[in-house]
Structure formats: C-alpha cells, structure tokens
Chains A and B, each alone.
Chain A
C-alpha cells in the first residue's frame, strides 16, 4: 500500500474504498514514460468524509467538481486523488481568455503546413490521465462547451477536420472552482450536470493542526494550536470582507514557519509569508493586528520548535 493510502487508512477512510482503489491501480498499469506525471504531493488533504466521497465518485467513473473558497484544499485534494489512483495528472489552469483551442488543441503552422497541436485535455484523454481543470469558472461558458462531449456519456473528443478520439477508460476530470470569488462567473447548468459536486468545507481546526504537525513535527503543541487559530481568525476576517483573501494563505503560513526555523523572527516571517501579500498598507495593518493577537512578534525558533 502506498504511503498516501496508508495515511488515509490511519485517518479512518473506509477500508473498502481503499481496497477498491488498490484494485483499480492493479488493473490499470501505467506506461513507464508516464510515471513522472504521477504527482508526489507535498501536502496531504485531511478530511475523512470528503476523501470517501471523492474516492467513491472517481471509482464510479464520475468527473468531480470541487467547489469552495480559498484555502479549502481543492487543488491539494485533486493532486492527492491523482496520486492515490496512481494516474498521471494534467494541470489546466483556466483564465478569462481560455478558449476551446487551448483545451483541445489548435492548428499551428509548421514546415509550410497547418498541423494540429494537441492541447492538455487531448493528451490527458489519450493517456488515461486525471485532468485537473483549475478554476473552471474563470473561463467563458462558450469556451467550455467543447468539454461537454468529453465529460458526458460520449467520452470522446471530436475535433473538426480530424479524427474522433475516444477517451481512455481511466480518464477522469477533476474541476475546481471558487464560487463568488471576484472575477469568476456562474458555471452553466449543462456543464455542472456533467460533474458530481463536492462542496469543500473550510478546513477545521483539527485538520489544520494535523497538517501543521505533519509539516513541522517539532512544532510545540502550544504553537500548533495558536497558528491554527491564527489561520481561522484570518479566515473570519476575510469572510466578513474586512480584508481581501490575499492574506488567507495557508501556503504562506507554512512558508513563514520555515522562515522562523531558519532564524527570522516571527513578526518578520509572518510579514513575508502573509501580511505583505496584501500590498495595501491599511489592510496590512489589519492583518498585523490579527497576527499580534496570537503570535508574539519576537517569537523565535528556540521557543517555537521543541
């Protein structure tokens, strides 16, 4: 059993599901040249219920839509799922000017001839990979219409002027979306109906503490608790729209802890990892106040790591 599946077993994820994943892996071996595409996650997603729902959905052959706010672990889960199933992953980051060509592929001009250059969705479909459609609701709905046949029962890509490519059996798509985030749009019904949707919960204090302990096994219990609460304090401030989501950055908090370990005082490290990500000085003041109410600015590695 892989390390990740072993961790999931310890987290209490249904053993029957884990067994089914093992069988899936055994039944679908992967060509050697695709192995480097299997992600090796730096973080583990914690959350038993979400894991069970996601594993069950993918085992049933469904595509997954992970909907949730910033720092709910959507991408971590997507990456973890590819790793758990042992499939190569294609990360496709959506943006406002995304069009069908950037997904499926486009014509290009090479050697005096128009040739088709496959896009990531095309490659993923050929190789039976997991396509991570990141921030899917950033793109315009008309650009996404090309995915309809890929995601529903037809499971095929039909590029006008070229062959119809059936999806490899193992292919799954995991989309992520941050609903209501500035710059995003409603996902249309036709596309949404082609996914099963998991509403990603905000990370709980328990899971946050697990994550901190996994990343920093020597972090003292007192500060594991305080850093977890700090993150939740920032989350509340974002939810109430007093600060933007720029400071709600779990990665940034982990980076700050690494900096403290390297000898930077806590105040400066948290400035670098969290506060300075909001470039507006007033907002920085509000963020610093939240931090000061949990973590002393002069705290150093000696007191933090036991």
Chain B
C-alpha cells in the first residue's frame, strides 16, 4: 500500500478541496499549487467542486483517456480550464464569494508573470498560455488578447454558457479536442528507448547505473525517494543473505558492532540476554542493543565509515523534512498534547492534601481549638508522578525505506507530546541483519534531546518475535521511572528474516522466518510480554493481506493507519486507552 502522507502545504491544499466538496472521505485527485509552492486556493476550491458535481470516477476516466499521450500536459491544463468554467457556473448561485475569488485568481495570474523565470516561461505551452490569458482577461473585464480564429474558437469552446450534465461531460470535452485537432481519442505515445542487456554488459551496467536492492544482510542506507514504495518488502534477496550467513560468527559480530556501535549492554549482560532469549525459534540468533551509529570518524572499517556517512545524510534528510513541515508538526504536537493531558486529568487518581475546606479530617480536628490551625480538611490534589512509561518501537527493516523521514517525524511528534505531558518515552528501532536482531535506542527515557530520533534509518530484515523479546528485556534492563509499561510497535505485521527457524520436534525440517510461522512466533511473544505485565499495542500500516496477521498478533490493541503521517495520532489514541484503563 502506498503511504499517503501529506506535507503541511499539501494537507492545507487537500483541506481546501475537501471543504469545497463538502466531503472528507476521499483523497483528492489533484492538488493545485503555485510555482512558489503555496496553495492555489481558488483552483483547489474548483477541484473540490468538480468532485461534488461530477464525482471522482468520471473525472479520473476523463484524464485517463489521454494518459501517456504526447500532449498529456497540455490536455490536462485545457481540461482544467473547461472544468473551472463548469464548476464556476454550477456553484456561483450557491456561493456568491466565488466571483471575488475568481477575480483574485485572475489578478494573481497576471501579477505572477513578472516573477516567472525563463525556464518557467519555456515550460509553458503557448496554446495553453493563450487560453489561460484569454480566460483570465475576460474575468477581469479586459479585452481578449490577439488570437487567431482557431484560438478564439477554442477559447469559446472551453467556456460553454452552461455546464454539461455528468453523463455528457466526457463526450463534450472529447468533442472539443477532436474538433480542434488536439486529441483524436487514441493515445499517441512518445516511443521509449528500451535496452536489453545481458552477460558482461549487464554486469557493467549494474555497476554504472543505479540499481535497487531492498533487503539484504548488509547494512545500507537508502534515500526514501530512491525506493519504489510499492516494492517495499517484495524485492527480497535471501540468496545473498545465505551466502553472507556462512561467514563466521566473530566477523558478523564485528560487522554489527562497526555498523551500529558498541552495545549498551555490558558483555556479561548481553550474553545472559542471548542465552535467555535466543532460544526456541530464535536458536542461533543474536541480539545487539545500541544507542546509535558511530560517527564517520570513529568508524573502524571503510564500509562502516560509508554507512555512518549515509546514516548522517539520512538524519539530515529527516531533519530537513521535519523543518519543512514544522508548522503542521507543531499543530499535531499541540493537539496530541492537549488530548493526552485532558485524558490524564480526567482519569488520574488524585491524592488528598490538607486544606482549609473540603472533607473533614477527624484526626486533625484537635488542631483547630488548640493550635488555631483551621487546616483540618482534606482536598484532592493532582498527581504529578507518571503512572507508566511508553516505549515506541519502530520497525526499521527495509520495507520502511520509502517513508523514513515521515517515521522519524512522527516519532518526534509523539515524543514531544508525551514529554509535554510528563510521560516518560523511549523511542527505539529494530531490524535484523546476519542473524543479529538490533535494537537501536534513539531516545532514552532520560534524554531531553529529541533530535536523536532523526537518526532513524531503515535497513535489513525484521524478526519481530525476537525484537519483541529484546524490547521486553530492555524494559527490565532500563525500566524507566514508572512502574507500568506500554510498548507501542509500529509494524507491517509481516515478520521476515533471512535466518530460518531451526528444526525442532514439531517441525523437523525447520522453516523460513516469514508468513504463518513468523506471525505465530510474533503473536506468542506478544502474549509472553503481556504475561510479564507489559501492555503491547500496535500501530499497523501495511497491506490489506497482512491485516489478518496484525489482528492475530496484537488482538484488539491495534490501530490501523493508512498514511505514516497518522502514526502519532494513532499512538496517541492507544496511549489514551492505556490512561483510561489505568484510571478506571
């Protein structure tokens, strides 16, 4: 499933579309923005009105008619001129302000001309520009620009006196384009150049050209944009993984340490954890608890140095993404903080405090006549100690490559909100490489600095069951300042690791750590943690086919999200449930 995440400006544009449409249950097909990146309020209103009057299916089918055609961009622009006219005529009687908005839009069209760069002018299609200029000059009450009879005819055809009925809309538009020889109903594609290479040439090309490899047992840090979102989790390369696994254990350990830094567990404690946790389905696996990637200067090997540099670049990208959408993020933080704080206020168990009015405290009554102390009552006092800690455990396997920046931002949002409410929060990420399940603590309970959450990057596999065991162990190793614990896992409910489940009495051949076996193991770990008194909830974002697995693993303690930008809110809801259950 593609992650539908909006930036601040996109969300605002989408809101303009939804408000005009009077409906919020759809993803806008188009969002209008000016060349400077700000939202085009009038055209977004038009997009919303078109949804309201014609529906998405019809509009999609119209734009699909010339999808891939050489003149697609031009036809798209012309069609929006046509639709703008239709929307305006249909809505004006119901929304008189549209006239002023249209006028302002036309004003802006001419005002911005002086600010366009040469490249922007060159990118403009001359015919489209003439049509737009004619439309907006007419709106402003000015004379038409100088046009050929063909252009005059087209301008008139794009602005019919009455808006067509839905069933006629597509035919009308296609008829206009056919009449003016813009589109004959058949898509004429620009011939693409395809090269098929094999043998030595293919090897050479894969060295020289960008390639994509999603899951391997080698740590790589990829830019989110370089990864096809739909491909996440599909392009797995277990063959390569097995080759790597045959290397000896000391090398693997050195590799993991060089990539993720020293373990925060002392060696003895780490050995004990591995002895206790790497049993059963995880026999032969290893654990690593780290607090981050070493800096490039500290990296012991060239490969580790490269990784550290790439990780720093990703951290920069995460920071840049957060900063770019700072306004939207701050807004989410404020609302989440308010909701959680409200919930705490409602459900906290107040302590009693000595006061001058309230419930009479018989044990103190002697103080009134003898000491002239009238504080002989008890009143409720707000509780200041946190009742529980929150551990946010982020899946950092390569299936998250396409949305690393959003995950880092959402982690920061949640951490900020909880910190503001006085709830201790730890943010960690997990992934598995070469049989090691690595838990990276990005922000500990005591860390005031939230910047480190931006060091999140995705790489490798996800052995969810072992990661959950490790998270449980980390809670014993560093339990934080409150007695109860809530563990929130961001998951796609598709456990998948290169290291197989070893043969056992029930399963003499062993099997891959994936699908039903992985899900069953993860579900068992969730139950085990619950028995330890840790509450486990999940924010699920993944394929529809994994929804059943998510329900099997996490039961009712799960919130499904469609876009990674909903992570903080979903986690907020889970936290509020926890507060309610603690209080009642």
Contacts and interface: CB of A to CB of B under 8 A. Distances in A.
Given A108-B357, A280-B330, A282-B328, A289 B15 contact: yes
A236 B24 contact: yes
Given A106-B357, A183-B346, A293 B327 contact: no
B113 to A, nearest CB: 24
**Chain B: number of interface residues, binned into ranges:** 35 or more
| Contact residues of B: prevailing secondary structure | helix
Interface in A213-269: 222, 226, 229, 233, 236-237, 239-240, 242, 244
Interface residues of A, number: 39
Interface of B: 8, 12, 15-16, 18-20, 22-25, 41, 45, 95-97, 100-101, 327-328, 330-331, 334-335, 338-339, 342-343, 345-347, 350, 356-360, 365, 368-369, 374, 376-377, 380, 382, 580, 584
B15 A286 contact: yes
Given A106-B358, A185-B580, A226-B97, A138 B18 contact: no
A285 B41 CA distance: 12
Nearest to A141: B584
A227 to B, nearest CB: 12
Contacts of B24: 236-237, 239-240, 242
Contacts of B342: 182-183
B18 A96 contact: no
B370 to A, nearest CB: 12
B40 to A, nearest CB: 12
A101 B97 contact: no
A295 interface: yes
Interface of A: 96-97, 99, 101, 106-109, 112, 114, 138, 182-185, 222, 226, 229, 233, 236-237, 239-240, 242, 244, 279-283, 285-286, 289-290, 292-296
Given A99-B380, A109-B357, A233-B22, 13 more contacts: A97-B382, A112-B368, A114-B365, A182-B339, A185-B584, A226-B96, A242-B15, A282-B331, A285-B12, A286-B15, A293-B19, A293-B101, A296-B100
Contacts of A97: 350, 380, 382
Most chain B beta-carbon neighbours within 10 Å: one of A106, A183, A184, A226: A183
A285 B360 CA distance: 51
A282 B8 contact: yes
Contacts of A283: 331
16 contacts: A101-B359, A106-B358, A107-B359, A107-B360, A109-B374, A183-B345, A185-B584, A233-B19, A237-B19, A280-B334, A282-B330, A283-B331, A293-B16, A293-B97, A294-B97, A296-B97
Contacts of A108: 357
A107 B380 contact: no
A289 B16 contact: yes
B571 to A, nearest CB: 15
B437 to A, nearest CB: 36
Nearest to B368: A109
Contact of B346 (A184, A226, A240, A242): A184
Nearest to A225: B94
Given A182-B339, A237-B15, A286-B12, A138 B346 contact: yes
Contacts of B95: 226, 229, 293-294
A244 B335 contact: yes
Contacts of A236: 19, 22-24
The 10 nearest A-B residue pairs measured at CB = A183-B342, A240-B24, A282-B331, A282-B327, A182-B339, A182-B342, A107-B360, A280-B331, A96-B345, A296-B100
A185 B16 contact: no
